[in-house]
């Protein structure tokens, strides 16, 4: 009887867990007030209070394991790949990936957050396989001049394409000889070197349309070079191999490069801001929501990008006619009309295709279909299908609403993508466009079987890479449609940092070609090793004058590494800004997001709003120094033994800087900072050094101090430093004439080394 009751109880618990998972309840993240020691405004998250982007939305991309289709299908398991390397033609070797600091910084265990790293790389352009193939193609083209050569007419779908557009190559062949084989290639027009196709192979799949007509599809590979190309059709008969060509151009689009560094704070928050209290920058007293603008300026940011549209299953009032959260629209319009906005440029963005909690159905959209490899079944994902035309129009409508507001300067897109393992409802369009080979019984397979075939076979290299290319193509067409709808404000998109977003169907080059003006690359949700991987892959991939931005998330859980999380946060921004573009500079940084700085417990225990604001202001100051956008260079050096330090200020201008003031901030265990001077004059090109002392309160542990240098005209430069990064441990006294103890010490040392190796 007891066993029966126990079994029933276990089954009941499992059922409840599945229900909670289905409705996304387990995805909630608590929101907490900025002051960790006060519970006055602490919020326990429930159906009303829910953070809109989860720790990793794709980790729970499939909202249910209940199969919506069931179909058995035999699969060829050969030629599977799981960790393929998608790269541009150039093979880049990055030197000393971990040595990203200056020589001075390498002497210490911890980095100075006010020092920027440098970029080094080398390139190798050789490709012996392409050289051999190119020679064979040249020979075939010469053979086509012979009298016995077949007559071939080549027709291209377009003679000038952007990188997101396919080139359909149609060939009509007229000959009395038996055709043994037909191959289609693409090569550079200038040097005649054969070009890889979008699936990372040289040959293009050829299909017979009718008696004498054949076609193939060229997909310009991710990161492929712009310029003039030739489609090459090779025809083999008993008399030889003959080659024929037709020219076309691959072009790109670039938005005018930003002249100065873009410094952006973001807001990703689902709650009506008028219900929130924000502390004053000056007094710390709680005040109205629009004090957010004061914190944005305090972070030295001049742009504010806030979410203004989302569709979820738990948001009240969402339906097919009104698919957007009313609270978010209200937030944007309040922020736009706020008197505190001042010179801060406001941008509004929408969560494009992520619709958690059943939002797709509630909003009247087609759901993106995913695949659960454990149950081997098709399932509904938490995304809206890229093929849904209603969603595109709804995005256009809300962005036009913001575009028409004179107090809004930018409009943006987030989640302009599928999940990593969904989107299979587009299988027929993908197969037709990309020209992949499918089973012989394809036309007799039902839609569910075709979706499952793609889901399982996306592991094959050709299918997997063309599947990624197709989704990037679809997303680019959506961006193009939005851009051409009459939007006049600058358009940006948040994109994934890992593998340039290609695993989810994103691509920076394609998105720029389609119409975005800024690509805001999210470098977060990566561990230290993955971050180093991004530092290697991005300069290999990105080159040119593009408005690429990098941003990190205020969330200590995501800042793993050998440093304390706040320094790791800073280091990752510095490294990404320095390295992501191999031939030009990154055009700006963004900090994600101000709601996490104000109310999230994940900003770190004991960390205050001012601490994170000063960290972000220091990052901005270092980048301004790097690009000569600040009148000062500022650095801090501490002497932990005497609890003193030196603040160094360099006047970079050709004029005397009068009445330069210095304001200090301290946090956590620090109780006071005493400067020798808080106002000085600095001659043109001269350096001033100001001594200071600092003191701890009742406890003593690593804490942040901040120095804000302000010119007479109001320009600011902020530098920060953490105390006690190098703990002072006295050296042990040497052991004299105690061989037994020495032997034991050597044994311990040996064991320690062994343990280190084992770890």
User: What pLDDT shows up at residue 32?
Assistant: 23
Least confident range from 196-200, 236-240, 689-693, 751-755: namely 751-755
pLDDT of residue 83 exceeding 60: no
For 639, the enclosing helix (H) or strand (E) is strand 632-639
Q: What pLDDT band is residue 5 in, cutting at 50, 70 and 90? A: low
644-651 sheet: strands from edge to edge: 632-639, 644-651, 687-696, 670-675
pLDDT at 148: 92
Q: Is omega for the bond preceding 593 within 30 degrees of 0, making it cis?
A: yes
Residues present in the chain in total:
759
Decide if pLDDT at 754 tops 70: no
DSSP state of 503: G
| 667: Cα separation from own chain's centroid | 31
> Under DSSP, is residue 482 helix (H, G, I), strand (E, B) or coil?
helix
Burial class (CB within 10 angstroms; exposed 0-12, middle 13-18, buried 19+) of 367: buried
Q: What is the dihedral of CA 125, 163, 412, 465, to 10 degrees?
A: -70
d(CA 250, CA 137): 21
- Residues 589-608, mean pLDDT to the nearest whole number: 93
pLDDT score of 2 more than 60: no
497 beta partners: none
pLDDT > 60? residue 201: yes
Model pLDDT, residue 140: 93
Q: Rounded to whole angstroms, how far apart are CA atoms 291 and 287?
A: 7
- The pLDDT of residue 35 is above 60: no
282 and 544 in contact (C-beta within 8 Å)? Answer: no
Q: How does residue 134 score in pLDDT terms, banded at 50, 70 and 90?
A: confident
pLDDT at res. 253: 94
pLDDT above 50: residue 81: no
Q: Please give the pLDDT value at position 700.
A: 87
The answer on pLDDT for 745 being more than 80 is no
Q: What is the band of 570 on the pLDDT scale with cuts at 50, 70, 90?
A: very high
What is the CA 700 to chain-centroid distance, rounded?
Answer: 38
Give the pLDDT of residue 405.
98
- Structure pTM? 0.81
Contacts of 607 (CB under 8 A, 6+ apart): 556, 566, 667, 668
Tokens 């105690």 map to which residue? 738
The pLDDT of residue 198: 67
pLDDT at 101: 30
Residue 426 CB coordination number (10 Å): 22
pLDDT (average), residues 31-54: 32
Does residue 59 have a pLDDT over 70?
A: no
Confidence bin at 128 (pLDDT 50/70/90): low
DSSP, res 260: S
């Amino acid at each position: 009887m007891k066993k029966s009751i126990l079994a029933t109880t276990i089954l009941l618990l499992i059922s409840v867990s599945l229900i909670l998972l289905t409705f996304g309840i387990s995805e909630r993240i608590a929101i907490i007030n900025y002051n960790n020691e006060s519970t006055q405004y602490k919020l326990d998250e429930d159906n009303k209070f829910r953070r809109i982007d989860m720790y990793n939305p794709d980790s729970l991309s499939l909202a249910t394991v209940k199969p919506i289709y069931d179909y058995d299908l035999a699969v060829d398991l050969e030629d599977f790949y799981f960790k393929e390397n998608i790269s541009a033609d150039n093979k880049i070797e990055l030197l000393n990936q971990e040595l990203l600091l200056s020589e001075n910084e390498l002497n210490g265990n911890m980095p100075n957050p006010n020092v920027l790293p440098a970029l080094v790389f080398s390139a190798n352009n050789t490709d012996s396989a392409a050289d051999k193939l190119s020679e064979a193609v040249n020979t075939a083209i010469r053979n086509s001049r012979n009298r016995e050569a077949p007559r071939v007419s080549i027709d291209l779908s377009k003679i000038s394409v952007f990188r997101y557009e396919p080139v359909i190559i149609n060939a009509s062949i007229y000959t009395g000889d038996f055709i043994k084989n037909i191959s289609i290639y693409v090569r550079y027009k200038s040097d005649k070197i054969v070009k890889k196709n979008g699936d990372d192979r040289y040959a293009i799949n050829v299909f017979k349309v009718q008696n004498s007509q054949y076609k193939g599809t060229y997909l310009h590979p991710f990161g492929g070079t712009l310029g003039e190309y030739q489609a090459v059709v090779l025809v083999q008969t008993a008399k030889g191999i003959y080659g024929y060509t037709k020219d076309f151009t691959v072009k790109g689009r670039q938005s005018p490069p930003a002249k100065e560094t873009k410094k952006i704070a973001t807001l990703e928050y689902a709650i009506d801001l008028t219900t929130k209290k924000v502390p004053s920058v000056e007094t710390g007293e709680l005040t109205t929501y629009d004090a957010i603008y004061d914190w944005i300026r305090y972070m030295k940011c001049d742009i504010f990008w806030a979410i203004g549209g989302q569709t979820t299953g738990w948001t009240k009032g969402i339906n097919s006619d009104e698919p957007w959260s009313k609270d978010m629209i209200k937030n944007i319009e309040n922020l736009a009309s706020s008197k505190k906005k001042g010179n801060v440029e406001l941008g509004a963005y929408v969560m494009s295709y992520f619709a958690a909690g059943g939002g797709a159905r509630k909003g009247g959209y087609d759901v993106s279909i995913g695949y659960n490899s454990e149950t081997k079944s098709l399932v509904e994902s938490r995304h809206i299908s890229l093929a849904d035309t209603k969603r595109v129009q709804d995005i256009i409508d809300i962005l036009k609403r913001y575009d028409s507001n004179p107090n809004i300067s930018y409009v943006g897109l987030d989640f302009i993508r599928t999940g990593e393992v969904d989107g299979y409802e587009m299988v027929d369009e993908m197969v037709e466009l990309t020209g992949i080979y499918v089973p012989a019984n394809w036309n007799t397979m039902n839609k569910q079987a075709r979706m499952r075939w793609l889901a399982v076979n996306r592991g094959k290299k050709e299918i997997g890479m063309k599947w990624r290319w197709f989704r990037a193509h679809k997303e680019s067409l959506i961006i193009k449609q939005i851009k051409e709808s009459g939007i006049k404000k600058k358009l940006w998109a948040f994109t994934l940092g890992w593998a340039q977003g290609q695993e989810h169907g994103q691509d920076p080059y394609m998105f720029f070609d389609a119409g975005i003006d800024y690509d805001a690359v999210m470098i977060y949700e990566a561990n230290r090793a993955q971050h180093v991987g991004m530092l290697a892959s991005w300069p290999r991939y990105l080159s040119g004058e593009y408005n690429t931005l990098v941003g990190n998330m205020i969330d200590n859980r995501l800042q793993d590494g050998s440093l304390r999380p706040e320094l790791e946060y800073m280091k990752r921004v510095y490294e990404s800004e320095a390295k992501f573009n191999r031939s030009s500079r990154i055009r700006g940084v963004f900090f994600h997001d101000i709601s996490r700085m104000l109310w999230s417990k994940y900003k770190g225990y004991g960390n205050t709003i001012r601490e994170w604001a000063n960290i972000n202001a220091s990052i901005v100051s270092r980048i301004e120094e790097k690009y000569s956008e600040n009148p000062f260079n500022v650095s801090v050096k501490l002497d932990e033994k005497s609890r003193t330090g030196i603040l160094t200020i360099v006047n970079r201008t050709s004029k005397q800087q009068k009445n330069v003031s210095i304001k200090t901030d301290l946090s956590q265990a620090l109780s006071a900072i005493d400067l020798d001077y808080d106002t000085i004059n600095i001659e043109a090109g001269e350096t001033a050094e100001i001594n200071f002392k600092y003191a701890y309160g009742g406890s003593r542990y690593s804490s942040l101090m901040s120095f804000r240098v302000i010119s007479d005209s109001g320009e600011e430069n902020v530098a920060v430093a953490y105390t006690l990064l190098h703990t002072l441990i006295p050296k042990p006294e040497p052991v004299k004439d105690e061989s037994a103890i020495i032997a034991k010490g050597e044994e311990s040392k040996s064991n320690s080394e062994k343990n280190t190796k084992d770890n």
